[in-house]
């Protein structure tokens, strides 16, 4: 169905999954949207991520990010279906759960804390014995004393970005790819235009969703945003189908199976500025860590190695909401380790805010005004 145009015009800065989801949601409500990115195609955090959808594995205590993550995870099946219908692209949403194995006594204490928290929230989970693990995940190391299974899942983030981008184009979003913002015009507390080398982009509303580059762009709008890039290195192994049947997480290591013979292994977390070089040290560490969980991975060939930059704000929470002093600028950035997870709900929240509707979530913890200079 072709959206009925509302007359609202919007410029969205950043063409990763967050920006694309926002542009798609706005266009679906009839807005005329321009999606702007300094690159021809986004190959940053959205492309580099592991694709985990894991609010239940991340937390063992109440958190506003836990609640937002769970709400976003619930939107994924409908998003998958909509994108498949609209574009023919399957985002490979795998609803097979996540295993948190315990290899040590300390691991057992950690998963017990998570189990108790999930139980207190009424969330389904399961503790698996070594015998159950041998049946359900036979390639897992026999050193596992047991595991907690959580209702966390995974998606192919590259397919997700591709499908969102295609659906944006189908909904009439104008693509301003490869265009860097050089100057921002403001007047009377509103953004009036964005200047690139090619054009001036005027709109009623603007959204800053540029990931790790949001801090630099914020300065063009005249405010400070305490954002920094956190480098993550990952690799992909060629494995027999179903060698690893679901996501496995242990410490900072995760294994994410894809359809076919691909297994993503991540990830480092490094304060390295905007440097994205892949290092042999990190690759060896990731491969060894993966083999410690699934010994058969020790000799599996590497298909791909890469690095990306996660956007982290000073308090680790994203910024979602209006920017104080600029009535028509909305922030949607700083998703850090949860950008893929929070993609569906961020698109909906921003579209609702711009159309003057209830956002459908408590945004107080994510208010950009919590940063004094914002």
Whether domain 97-152+229-313 has CATH 3.40.640.10: the reply is no
Confidence of residue 40 (pLDDT cuts 50, 70, 90): confident
Q: Mean per-residue pLDDT for 39-65?
A: 90
**Are 33 and 350 contacting, i.e. CB atoms less than 8 angstroms apart?**
no
Asked whether residue 263 carries a pLDDT value surpassing 80, the answer given is yes
What pLDDT shows up at residue 20?
98
Question: Residue 321 pLDDT > 60, yes or no?
Answer: yes
What are the distances in angstroms from CA 324 to CA 40, 209, 219, 221, 301?
Answer: 31, 16, 14, 11, 51
Q: How far apart are CA 204 and CA 29, in angstroms?
A: 15
Contacting residues for 352 by C-beta, under 8 A, at least 6 apart: 358, 359, 360
Alpha-carbon gap, residue 246 to 197, rounded angstroms: 46
pLDDT of res. 373: 58
40: exposed, middle or buried (Cβ count in 10 Å: 0-12, 13-18, 19+): exposed
CB of 24 closer than 8 Å to CB of 347:
yes
**Residue 162 and residue 168 in contact, taking contact as beta carbons nearer than 8 Å:** no
User: pTM to 2 decimals?
Assistant: 0.96
> What does the pLDDT average to over 304-313?
97
pLDDT in tens, 154-204: 999 999 999 999 999 999 999 999 999 999 999 999 999 999 999 999 999
With contact defined as beta carbons under 8 Å apart, do 247 and 98 qualify?
yes
Give the tens place of pLDDT for each residue, 232-247: 999 999 999 999 999 9
9-52+158-226+315-370 topology per CATH: FAD/NAD(P)-binding domain (3.50.50)
Region 133-141: mean pLDDT is 98
Q: What percent of the chain has pLDDT over 70?
A: 97
Helices (H), the chain: 17-28, 45-48, 55-58, 64-73, 76-87, 105-120, 130-136, 157-170, 214-221, 280-293, 343-354
Parse the chain into domains and list their residue ranges: 9-52+158-226+315-370, 97-152+229-313
């Amino acid at each position: 169905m072709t959206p009925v145009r509302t007359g609202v015009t919007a410029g969205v800065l950043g063409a990763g999954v967050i920006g694309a989801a926002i542009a798609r949601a706005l266009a679906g409500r009839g807005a005329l949207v321009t999606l702007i990115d300094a690159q021809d195609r986004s190959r940053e955090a959205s492309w580099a991520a592991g694709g985990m959808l894991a609010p239940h594995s991340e937390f063992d205590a109440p958190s506003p990010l836990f609640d937002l993550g769970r709400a976003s995870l619930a939107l994924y099946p409908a998003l998958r279906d909509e994108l498949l219908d609209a574009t023919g692209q399957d985002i490979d949403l795998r609803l097979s759960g996540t295993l948190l194995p315990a290899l040590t006594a300390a691991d057992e204490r950690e998963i017990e804390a998570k189990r108790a928290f999930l139980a207190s929230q009424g969330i389904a989970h399961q503790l698996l014995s070594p015998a159950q693990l041998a049946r359900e995940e036979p390639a897992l190391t026999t050193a596992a004393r047991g595991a907690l299974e959580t209702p966390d899942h995974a998606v192919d983030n590259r397919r997700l970005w591709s499908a969102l981008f295609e659906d944006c184009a189908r909904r009439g979003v104008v693509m301003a790819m490869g265009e860097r913002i050089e100057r921002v015009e403001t007047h009377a507390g509103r953004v009036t235009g964005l200047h690139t080398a090619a054009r001036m982009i005027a709109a009623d509303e603007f959204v800053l969703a540029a990931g790790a580059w949001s801090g630099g762009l914020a300065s063009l709008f005249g405010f400070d945003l305490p954002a920094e890039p956190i480098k993550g290195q990952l690799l992909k192994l060629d494995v027999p189908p179903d060698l690893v049947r679901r996501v496995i997480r242990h410490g900072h290591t995760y294994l994410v199976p894809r359809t076919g013979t691909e297994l993503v292994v991540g990830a480092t977390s490094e304060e390295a500025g905007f440097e994205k070089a892949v290092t042999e040290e990190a690759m060896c560490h990731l491969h060894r860590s993966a083999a410690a969980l699934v010994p058969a991975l020790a000799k599996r060939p590497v298909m791909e190695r890469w690095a990306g930059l996660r956007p982290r704000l000073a308090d680790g929470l994203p910024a979602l909401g209006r920017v104080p002093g600029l009535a028509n600028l909305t922030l949607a950035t700083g998703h850090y380790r949860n950008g893929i997870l929070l993609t569906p709900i961020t698109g909906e929240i921003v579209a609702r805010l711009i159309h003057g509707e209830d956002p459908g979530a408590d945004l107080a913890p994510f208010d950009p005004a919590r940063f004094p200079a914002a």
